[in-house]
Amino acid sequence: MPAATLTEKGQIIIPAQIRARYGLTPGTRVEFVDDGGVIRLVVRRRLTRSDPAAGYGLIKVPTKGKPRRLASFDAAALLAGKRGGRPG
C-alpha cells in the first residue's frame, strides 16, 4: 500500500498511482472522516477539465458583419475596450 509523509504544514501528497486509480485531479473536493480510529478520505466532487471551445458563442461581441473565430478571441482587449482604452 502506498504511503505519504505529513509535512510541517500538515500537507500530504497523494501517491500518483492512487490519484490515477480514483481519477483525483487538481480541484477535486475531498472530506476527511474519522471512523473510530481510522481516517477515511471521501471524494465529494470531481472536477473535469473544461474545453475552451465549449464556451464559444457565450459572449456577444459586435463583429461588424465579419465572422469571428475562437483563435482570434482576445479577452484582454475586450476588457480594455469596456474601460475606454485599447491595449498597447
pLDDT tens readout for residues 13-66: 999 999 999 888 888 889 999 999 999 999 887 666 677 777 776 776 666 777
The answer to pTM > 0.85 is no
Confidence at 85, pLDDT banded by 50, 70, 90? very low
The CA R_g of the chain, rounded to the nearest whole Å, is: 22
CA distance 38 to 20: 23
Which helix H or strand E contains 80, and what residues bound it? helix 75-82
Contact 15, 2 (CB under 8 A): yes
